[in-house]
Structure 1
């Protein structure tokens, strides 16, 4: 049974950007005419980061949590009861990379979850799952690990790189630490599945084949002009909807939140969301120009950057919001942020 009297807080965040920044020209010089390069969906960022050859999801997770462990010490890992890992491109078939991440961190959590859905909003979905586990079990703390690793692998293939879609994604990793405490409480969460759109994000090749079959054509995302228009319309609607649902229950106008942190598919979505919610640009940080579309990593990495750069004063009301894939999931969460949890604050 869920015990809502148990308060769960976002205690800390940290992140990792692999390698040196990759400029837009790395892709745009190969762009073919006739592709959907002029679509707002694929207007490229100035830079993005790519995973190195042979760099695994566990490598990325280890790098992402390193700043957090430097602040709190390795003993933080001793009390982790829940590990939720979302890997954009799982490299361990069937089981995902959660076990590999746990082994690398040297932990054996009671709850080990490979979260394969939620996409660009998987951070919020993982926060919801972790909070509800902590409110219904004795679990005291959770780690959420988001890994984006397709930019330097799938989108950097020589047949895919000329496509406009290839210039937008970036790689990176983000980690969040949740604890039983009232330090920076998670105030409310809205999560909505729209499964009727789940089959619209497809992987294609030329000639066609299944992803596990060998063949000459390299896999990429099967965008069409009609499909892009649908995704843009859905994204413009469902992200403000879930954000307003959370703000409504908190009785706070969306425009009054201190910080809006979203996923970052492209510049147009970012602009449309803050305009719809009445949030000025200075209160809607993003890392799109430096990192591109980070998918599920965008929220924790951007929030980590905002906290580290002093953009989030103690007491700030932070609203996380985003959607996934072609619109099959959307979620929002509100947190009253009071700074990174320090050892003297305790975790229970």
Structure 2
């Protein structure tokens, strides 16, 4: 008996949102205090980053990005969305995420709504894979995925945190994308995801004095970086991102060096350089938005891809490889699409 091939999935279009507050590196320089990690390559600050406004939520930013799709394609563009998935770096309320609010504010009536709290910086590819599986399983005709990075203006500007070297790196922003069944649009050529649960406990949120994140106390929460942890993250990230990208490239029959575009997450410049060198790609085929947006976590890939499309750096027929690792290296993912244009 001949197996029936699974229906193909296409990325129809994507759109992004940058908060209005464009914050220069000097904002953090004025508060900087002695930090034993200040000279670490992980914390060489970008020129700018954007911060969400006071009270601006994940849902606000995702809806703002989605409205750009509606402006581009018309008010009925999302009417046939049956699946809505969201990922927020910092859920504003306990337990639930923002997916229900996003669907309601956009006037959608999906069959399936799902907040995906893991995936980290690789969440864009992770959501593409999950949405594709739901559509193939008969979950609907079109999926909307939304991602928000909202911790820069809320966590890293706190009085006790903004003095640290880590504070100047993150930026805020949001992205959305639509996926459909079939080859129309920009076909998803494949995805590659790998979980490394043994590293999950290496990413921690800390406060001084110590407390659980939900407990009241004088210490403000920040990322628990140490020199030892940074060394581990650098080693893992340097390996994981090109590893999953190369594995997927070979699976779809393309030499890594022949990829038209590589789009990765963007924790810092050292990772960006190492990844393109590992893939044997020139800088022109590995765009980033780091100096304008900083580390956008899960939003980094769609933000950079959207900017590259607008700048004419992606042409019809180009194969775009997206690759990222999450947190301290507990997850890595790559996804490839053949770009034909916004639809």
TM-score (norm 2): 0.97
Which secondary structure does the structure 2 equivalent of 1:269 belong to?
helix
Q: How does 1:261-340 map to 2 (within 5 A)?
A: 261-340=263-342
Once the two structures are superposed, residues 73-116 of structure 1 have per-residue CA deviations (whole angstroms, 9 ceiling, x without a partner) of: 12122111111100000012101111111111121211111000
Name the CA distance, whole Å, in 2 between partners of 1:3 and 1:263. Answer: 35
Look up the match of 1:17.
Answer: 18
Do the aligned residues in 2 keep the contact of 1:35 with 1:163 (CA within 8 Å)?
Answer: no
Which secondary structure does the structure 1 equivalent of 2:90 belong to?
coil
Which secondary structure does the structure 1 equivalent of 2:323 belong to?
strand
User: CA offset at residue 20 of structure 1?
Assistant: 3.0
Supply the RMSD in Å over aligned alpha carbons.
1.1
Name the CA distance, whole Å, in 2 between partners of 1:224 and 1:287. Answer: 26
User: CA offset at residue 241 of structure 1?
Assistant: 0.8
Change (3 A) 1:208 1:315: same
Which secondary structure does the structure 2 equivalent of 1:84 belong to?
strand
Match of 1:210 among 209, 212, 215: 212
Look up the match of 1:50.
Answer: 51
Do the aligned residues in 1 keep the contact of 2:21 with 2:53 (CA within 8 Å)?
Answer: no
Name the CA distance, whole Å, in 2 between partners of 1:138 and 1:130. Answer: 9
Name the CA distance, whole Å, in 2 between partners of 1:175 and 1:308. Answer: 15
Do the aligned residues in 2 keep the contact of 1:259 with 1:317 (CA within 8 Å)?
Answer: yes
Which secondary structure does the structure 2 equivalent of 1:49 belong to?
strand
Q: Which runs of 5+ in 1 are unaligned?
A: 342-348
Look up the match of 2:61.
Answer: 60
TM-score (norm 1): 0.96
User: CA offset at residue 290 of structure 1?
Assistant: 0.1
Once the two structures are superposed, residues 303-348 of structure 1 have per-residue CA deviations (whole angstroms, 9 ceiling, x without a partner) of: 111111111011100000000000000000110010101xxxxxxx
Name the CA distance, whole Å, in 1 between partners of 2:143 and 2:4. Answer: 17
Which secondary structure does the structure 1 equivalent of 2:175 belong to?
strand
Do the aligned residues in 2 keep the contact of 1:260 with 1:318 (CA within 8 Å)?
Answer: yes
User: CA offset at residue 134 of structure 1?
Assistant: 1.2
Q: Please say if 1:85 is aligned against 2:82.
A: no
Do the aligned residues in 2 keep the contact of 1:317 with 1:334 (CA within 8 Å)?
Answer: yes
Look up the match of 1:346.
Answer: none
Look up the match of 1:233.
Answer: 235
User: CA offset at residue 19 of structure 1?
Assistant: 1.4
Look up the match of 1:247.
Answer: 249
Look up the match of 2:131.
Answer: 130
Runs of 4 or more above 4 Å deviation: none
Q: Which runs of 5+ in 2 are unaligned?
A: none
Look up the match of 1:160.
Answer: 161
Which secondary structure does the structure 2 equivalent of 1:76 belong to?
coil
Which secondary structure does the structure 1 equivalent of 2:96 belong to?
coil
User: CA offset at residue 235 of structure 1?
Assistant: 0.1
